[in-house]
Amino acid sequence: MAIGEFYGPAENYFHKLLGPEAEPGFSDPEELERNWGRRWGRADETSTLRMAIVRRPNPGMADIRADAWSEEAQALVDPDRNWYYKRATPPDMDKVMDQHKQLVDALEAEGVEVIVAPELPRTFTKSVYARDPLLTVPGGAIIGRLAPRMRRGEEASITQAVAALGMPILGTITGTGLVEGGSFAMLRKDIALYGTSIRCNEEGARQLETMLEPLNIELIKIPLPGYTIHIDGQFMILDDKTVMANVHRLPYQFLATLEELGFEIIHPHVDEQNACNSLMVRPGRMIMASIFPNTAEMLRKRGFEVVVIDYDEIINNGGNIHCSVTELVRDWE
């Protein structure tokens, strides 16, 4: 007897009754709410931020030593490659912890639910930059693969943290791909940006593009010049018609594309270029480090609200406010 002959009319009926139902797609907002509890992810960089993940500064930052000064690097550099610090004196750990608390307090004051990822071993001195191990898009998270070996392992920890919340994991960068969240941005719901660099390679971009295709998201790849590692140090989206950028550190074709899409490009103060690494918490309102007063004043004159916190002690560790936060939920339709 052929296998198919085991199925009579009743079985055929029930198979038809129970599926398949491919539509609406996975990222349909109502489908997400019904099956995954909420509209996970984000579709842009400026909508109201509802949930974010951070990681407190690692206690291993206290191991940074004053006798490790490198003239070549103009920084304190660990011979075992577990840390560097961009100043001749080690971090003041009381200030480090206080400044990160200022960030968490500022987020919570904006109504953001802040998730704190678990602490990692002492060698993970850059783990405070919780943006890099993952990125989020409408529907969930894509887990990256960090370039520096000193940071490998953060990916597994962050995966466990967001999965425990119920957030869908849409993909993971594998093989020789390198993708870090600091070099990814959602320009709008259907266009994402990814900066390729010494830390974020073409293979990572290829895998990322494949993962975004089913979500109907076009990926614009931005080849970053020199040793620029991430786009979030050079560029931030302020609203649906304005970006702030260090134009001399971005390729002309990308700048031309922004203008073709109708964006005005404004510039931070010449002495405050790292101000681009700030975080929008809702339309027209952002959190910025207090060491960028001129840029903050320029933005206020343009109608933006700027909340300032102290963050210089953490900035000297190699990242800024935007680097320290990953959005898990922003409002989107």
Count Cβ atoms within 10 A of the Cβ of residue 99 and give its class: 0-12 exposed, 13-18 middle, 19 or more buried: buried
Angle at 156 between CA 83 and CA 132, to 5 degrees: 55
Closest CA to 239 of 308, 287, 187: 187
Q: Are 190 and 218 in contact (CB under 8 A)?
A: yes
* CA–centroid distance for 332 within its chain: 17
Count Cβ atoms within 10 A of the Cβ of residue 291 and give its class: 0-12 exposed, 13-18 middle, 19 or more buried: middle
> In sequence order, what E strands does the chain have?
49-54, 69-70, 75-77, 84-85, 113-116, 134-137, 140-143, 169-172, 184-188, 191-196, 218-223, 235-239, 242-245, 264-266, 279-282, 285-289, 305-309, 326-330
- Look at phi and psi of residue 226 and say left if phi exceeds 0, alpha if psi is from -120 to 50, else beta: left
- Taking the CA atoms of residue 229, residue 138, residue 192 and residue 52 in that order, the dihedral angle to the nearest 10 degrees is -30
Which residues in 101-128 are b (16+ Cβ under 10 Å) and which e?
A: ebbbebbeebebebbebeebeebbbbbb
Kindly state whether residue 238 falls inside one of the protein's structural domains.
yes
Kindly state whether residue 155 falls inside one of the protein's structural domains.
yes
One-character DSSP codes across 248-309: GGS-HHHHHHHHHTT-EEE---TT-GGGGS-EEEETTEEEEETT-HHHHHHHHHTT-EEEEE
User: At 224, which CATH number?
Assistant: 3.75.10.10
Tell me the two tokens of residue 32: 């997400």
Kindly state whether residue 314 falls inside one of the protein's structural domains.
no
- Look at phi and psi of residue 139 and say left if phi exceeds 0, alpha if psi is from -120 to 50, else beta: left
The boundaries of the domain holding residue 83 are 25-267+323-330
Whole-number pLDDT of residue 253: 97
Q: Are 217 and 187 in contact (CB under 8 A)?
A: no
Whole-number pLDDT of residue 17: 75
Kindly state whether residue 126 falls inside one of the protein's structural domains.
yes
| Domains in the chain, number | 1
- Which parts of the chain register pLDDT below 70? 1-11
Whole-number pLDDT of residue 1: 42
Closest CA to 292 of 247, 233, 248: 233
Kindly state whether residue 193 falls inside one of the protein's structural domains.
yes
Kindly state whether residue 187 falls inside one of the protein's structural domains.
yes
Whole-number pLDDT of residue 104: 98
Give the up-direction half-sphere exposure of residue 227: CA atoms within 13 A in the CB hemisphere. Answer: 0
DSSP, res 46: S
Whole-number pLDDT of residue 20: 82
Kindly state whether residue 7 falls inside one of the protein's structural domains.
no
In order of 9, 82, 112, 202, 213, the CA distances from 234 in angstroms are: 64, 25, 25, 20, 26
Kindly state whether residue 304 falls inside one of the protein's structural domains.
no
- The phi and psi torsions of 233 (rounded to 5 degrees) equal -85, -15
Tell me the two tokens of residue 117: 């990822």
In order of 60, 71, 77, the CA distances from 65 in angstroms are: 11, 15, 8
Residue count of the chain: 333
